[in-house]
Structure formats: structure tokens, C-alpha cells
Structure 1
Amino acid sequence: MVRYAEPGVVEWVESGGGPLIAVPETVLPFWAGADGEETASDYDRACEVDGHVGLLPVGDCTALVLGDEPASTAYLPDQGMFVRWCAGNSEDELLASVPLAVDTAEWEPEVLWDVPGAVLLFDAAWPGAQPSGSERVRVVLEPGRYAVRAARVQPGPETWLGLVQLRLLAPR
């Protein structure tokens, strides 16, 4: 069994204050972030997403916006899940609470997300071509259609986390 809190096993992405976005690698150059000449930047569009998740067109694909709050976020590949650290005393405690959180979550309605393959998760304010190192996490996904559902859960008295679960429905 993987112990997530081992150094280097879980990579967390931070936000400067706005939403995080998972953009398919094939369309990264089309995400301008907060830059741009238009009235509403890509970042502005991401900030307009209401709720825990939403979808935005980017190039000929769709990106997944993790909205609601700028929580540190990690991807747990064996569970197909983004975990958002809203409150908790330690990484160990937070990650140990994930199974209980999944079992007790009151999930919001699913959205369907077509994914061409790997995505990069990063602060939506950054242009797609610029995030690097600790500013992003590469998430390897099988190409296909995913059901995405989200919940905010309190599995312990001082532990709050957001869950965004991806479930492959139809591989390409």
C-alpha cells in the first residue's frame, strides 16, 4: 500500500489566490492565464466558475477548473482523485482521512469531461506555457470521457478537504 505522505509521493499545487485548472497538455499554449489583450482573460473566465468544479473551452479541448477556494491540491492516481487541503493539522492526517471522506461525501452532480490524455494542474493565473517545477503537477490520464464529481467533506473535527473524483466512462 502506498503511504502518500512519504517524501516525493504526493506533489501539492498552490494557488496565488484564485482557482486551479487542469489543462490538457495538447492545448497548453492556448491558455493565456491572467495575460491577454481581451476584456476578460482566461483567468477571469476560470474565476467565474461557480462551485467546486467547472469546464472551460481551451483550444479544441476542455479544461477542468477546481473552483470554490484556493486550497493546496494533490492528485492521488490510484483513487483517480484530486484532494484539496482546506484544513488539517498535517499531511499525514489529511491523507489518512481520504477513505472515510470518500465514503461519507455528499457528492455534487457530475460533469462530463472529454480528455485527450495527460493534463497539467496549475494556478489558473499562469499562462499554460509557463508553469514549471513546484508550480504544477502533471496528471497522466487515459484518453477518454470522464465523470467528474466533487464534494467538500469534514472527516474529523479539525480536518476539512475537498474531493474531485475522476471516473473513466469511455476510453478512446
Structure 2
Amino acid sequence: MVRYAEPGAVEWVESGGGPLIAVPETVLTFWAGADGDETASDYDRACEVDGCVGLLPVGDAAALVLGDEPASTSYLPDHDTFVRWCAADSEDELLAVVPTALAAAVWEDEVSWTVPGPVVLFDAAWPGDDAVNTDHLKVSLTPGRYAVRAADVRPGPETWLGLVQLRRLPD
């Protein structure tokens, strides 16, 4: 995990250039990443996701692909939102505009994501078995269905961030 500020500040996950993926912890071993003998690897499937978010089957669950930008990403539980650092002079500047960005966002269409519990965010190229040994972030989610929506927001001339917000749906 990358830390841009004092200890205890937000932790960021980075990719080697491809998409990040949030895989339910219970099915991590089923994610092969760029490895595998198949014609199209799991990583290839993640790269084919068009837009900011998409879902891919993994085991008996689904993983959330954060596509479009290979930006440093963190999860802010107070906002139930993955924040993607596309451009900002500092972490403080970026985090300070999150509430304004959430209020001003023009959201893409929602997808419905069912999770069995916590998920692990990491570079989609890595196999799930190796995810905890690489740059990753564990996100504690309550089991159930979530509406997932995404937006790119430019709250300032040199500040740009991606938002992927989760909203718990009734069972």
C-alpha cells in the first residue's frame, strides 16, 4: 500500500497500468489474474470492461472491476466510496474536495453487486492467492446487495478524481 501522508492517513492501492479489481475475500483463490492456461486470462477479461465499473463472475460471486483509469485508489468508508486519484497537488487537497465532488457528480448507470462479505482491492493482473502479498486494500462490506455507481469529477482546474460509490440495497 502506498501512503502519501502521515501514518494513519488514507491508504492507496496502485496498479501496474491495468484495472484494479475488488474480489470478495471468499473467492480470492478463483481469481487467476494474468496467469492461466486459458485463451483469455482473468486479467484480459478485466481489461475488456468498458467504462468506469463492471462486474465479472469469480467462483460463485462477482468481482467489481474499476476500469478506465489505472489511478491510485482508496476506499473511504464514511462516504461508502472508492476514490480514484486522477489529478491533485496533494492528498489533502484531493480528500478535501470529496464531499463537493460527491454532491456535483453526474453518475453513470448503476450496476447491482452482491457480495458475501469483505472484498480485497488489488491490481487485476495479480492472482488472488498473491493479492495479500502485493499492494492491496481489504474493504469490510456487510454481506448483501449494493447499487454501484461511478462518476469522473473535476472540482477544480487541476483536481480530477473518479468516484465509485456503493449503496446498500434492501435484501
Partner of 2:92: 92
Q: How does 1:72-83 map to 2 (within 5 A)?
A: 72-83=72-83
Corresponding position of 2:153: 153
Report if the CA contact (8 A) 1:149-1:166 is conserved: yes
**Contact 1:13/1:134 (8 A) holds in 2:** no
1:86 aligned partner, one-letter code: C
1:70 corresponds in structure 2 to: 70
Taking a change above 3 Å as real, the CA distance of residues 26 and 10 of structure 1, as seen in their structure-2 partners, is same
1:57-104 per-residue CA deviation (whole Å, 9 max, x = no partner) reads 000000000000100000001110000000010000000010110010
Query: Which piece of structure 1 moves more, 93-102 or 133-142?
Result: 133-142
Q: Deviations over 1:148-172 (max 9, x none)?
A: 000000011100000000000025x
Amino acid at match of 2:8: G
Looking at structure 1, the residues matched to 168 and 7 of structure 2 have their Cα atoms a distance apart, in angstroms, of: 28
The one-letter code matched in structure 1 to 2:56 is: L
Partner secondary structure for residue 84 of structure 1? strand
Q: Which residue of 1 aligns with 2:23?
A: 23
Taking structure 2 as the reference length, the TM-score comes to 0.95
Name the amino acid aligned to 1:56.
L
State the 1:134 CA deviation.
5.8
Q: Percent identity?
A: 76
Unaligned runs of 5+ in 1: none
TM-score (norm 1): 0.94
Structure 1 moving runs of 4+ over 4 Å: none
Tell me: CA distance 1:100–1:134, structure 2 relative to 1, closer, same or farther (3 Å).
farther
- Residue 131 of structure 1 aligns to a residue whose secondary structure is helix
* Residues 1:136 and 2:124 aligned together: no
CA distance in 2, matches of 1:91, 1:159: 11
SS in 2 for 1:44: helix
Matched positions, count: 168
1:52 matched residue in structure 2: 52
The unaligned stretches of length 5 or more in structure 2 are: none
